[in-house]
Amino acid sequence: MTRGSAAGAGAGREGGGVRAGRPDAAAEDHGAPGAAVPYGRLPDARRTFDLVRRHFSPGLALTGNFAGRGAVEVGAEGCRVTLSDGRDVLDFGSYAVPLLGHRHPAVVAAVHRALDTLPTATRSLANPVTAQAATTLVRYFEDALPKVYFGLNGADAVEVAVKLARLASGRSRVLAVRGGFHGKSIGALALTHSPLFRAGLRGSVTDVAHADPEDAEAVRRAASRDGLAAIVFEPVQGENGVVPLPPAVLRRWCADARRHGAFVIADEIQCGLRRCGERSVALAEGLPVDAVLVGKPLGGGVVPLSAVVCSEELYAPLAADPFLHSATFGGHPLACAALPPALAAIEQRAAHGRELADAMSEGLARLRSRHAGAVREVRGRGLLWGVDYASPHLAGDVVLGLADAGLLVSPCLSRPTTVRLLPSLACGPPEVGEALAALDHATAEAAARCTEK
């Protein structure tokens, strides 16, 4: 049997962090298509994959089958996700959303209270839940940036920030960074560097160029030549394999942007809110930014929420016309109710996060030393790490081995040699040790198979 064909056969296998439990309800019939699955009953995993293939994409069914080894997710608590075959897997993936772990009780309670009182907004009346969330977020960044726009995901925040920069500056040109990822909606996609996500699409409503992350003169040249509206960057590029940008280059870019009247936008959708140790990586570095974009864990891992936190100057077009940009569910009270307890919980666990980060750094350094032929580089900061392997095939083989071991990770689509690790604050030293042991074992096995070939 080949490695890839083992996806279905691996269901129910124990190992690493896997804990045995009840069997998969694969033989259970839940009725006609569209029938609700009774609460508390395990779904038929095969039926779920059939529905995904039918209504979404065969590729989603295939990748889900690989990740779950034939099972589907049915519940989550803390740093563990329960699968339909009864296994619990350790979550070091989920693309950075559950920084607090799954179903943090304070966040869940706040959302329940909002659900019981005002679950949606009229959009005509002022909403105190949304207003308080904005106040909390501004104070969280120590009043460095006084204005807020709430969205639902990272691309929302990117779209709004770039739109405001173009309107406030009266210019169209935007400079992004090679390797950066800012979303897949049409405007945000222009900033996203990898051509993988733009296949078949030509042109954009945004005039964008991409700077080399090592080119300290890029903003000066672009601003003097084109009349620059904004520079947009991730202080730590996540999808590009966890690549921190050089602080000295960022400082030069910010200074040159300010000198030429361009706005500075730090996209911290993935790396902010203590994921990389600081509330804001850019603000902690003392960079004079006009906006910090946050999301992913902002809703506490319970509800979708993102935000643009920005200066008066950048926000000026919306201050003049509040309907210049709006969205039906922007600032939704259920999502905004989650923000204050989420940020409070993140701060309560910040010191714990630093301890976990040290353990990850030390453990991954040992991993690289033990597997020097297979692991090319380890990059990361805080609770965002990338292990770069010698080939995409080797990295893919490691991901499948981790699935067998019960460790969920996030591959990097635009850098397929890198396996991304995103531990949550719900983890402790035992879970970090468990994850590192699983990674060590999967790396050794994958490297041995490559040597045999």
Q: Please write the tens of the pLDDT for every residue from 27-77.
A: 333 333 333 334 345 568 999 999 999 999 999 999 999 899 999 999 999
Domain boundary among 348, 366, 386: 348
Amino acid identity, position 229:
A
Give the separation between CA 73 and CA 16, rounded to whole angstroms: 18
**What's 311's domain CATH number?**
3.40.640.10
Pair (362, 320) in one structural domain: no
Pair (52, 177) in one structural domain: no
Give the separation between CA 178 and CA 210, rounded to whole angstroms: 5
Range of the domain at 153: 105-348
Domain count, the chain: 2
pLDDT of residue 199: 57
**What's 387's domain CATH number?**
3.90.1150.10
Question: What's the Rg (C-alpha) of the chain?
Answer: 22
Pair (252, 382) in one structural domain: no
The neighbour count for residue 410, using CB atoms within 10 Å, is 22
Q: Are the C-beta atoms of 369 and 134 separated by less than 8 Å?
A: no
Position 269 in a domain: yes
Give the separation between CA 438 and CA 453, rounded to whole angstroms: 23
Per-residue pLDDT reduced to its tens digit, 402-423: 999 999 999 898 899 999 999 9
Pair (52, 156) in one structural domain: no
Position 243 in a domain: yes
pLDDT of residue 189: 53
Pair (254, 168) in one structural domain: yes
Cross-sheet strand order for the sheet of 410-411: 375-381, 384-389, 418-421, 410-411
Pair (115, 258) in one structural domain: yes
Position 3 in a domain: no
pLDDT of residue 24: 37
Name residues of the chain where pLDDT drops below 50.
1-40, 184
* Side-chain half-sphere exposure of 291, counting CA atoms within 13 A: 36
Tell me the angle at which helices 350-370 and 333-348 cross, rounded to the nearest 10 degrees. Answer: 70
Give the separation between CA 402 and CA 91, rounded to whole angstroms: 11
Position 2 in a domain: no
Give the separation between CA 252 and CA 288, rounded to whole angstroms: 11
Give the separation between CA 241 and CA 385, rounded to whole angstroms: 8
Q: Which residues on neighbouring strands pair with residue 310, listed in sequence order?
A: 147, 291
Pair (327, 339) in one structural domain: yes
Pair (397, 268) in one structural domain: no
pLDDT of residue 225: 82
Position 1 in a domain: no
Domain boundary among 348, 382, 414: 348
Choose among 317, 316, 297, 295: nearest CA to 306: 295
Pair (82, 136) in one structural domain: no
Pair (318, 375) in one structural domain: no
Residue 37 burial by Cβ neighbours in a 10 Å radius (0-12, 13-18, 19+) = middle
Give the separation between CA 102 and CA 424, rounded to whole angstroms: 9
Position 236 in a domain: yes
Position 5 in a domain: no
Domain boundary among 316, 333, 348: 348
Distance of CA 413 to the CA centre of its chain: 13
Give the separation between CA 395 and CA 416, rounded to whole angstroms: 7
Using DSSP's 3-state secondary structure scheme, residue 386 falls into: strand
Give the separation between CA 369 and CA 265, rounded to whole angstroms: 37
Give the separation between CA 334 and CA 152, rounded to whole angstroms: 11
Position 336 in a domain: yes
Pair (36, 185) in one structural domain: no
| Start-to-end Cα distance in the chain | 15
Pair (361, 291) in one structural domain: no
pLDDT of residue 15: 35
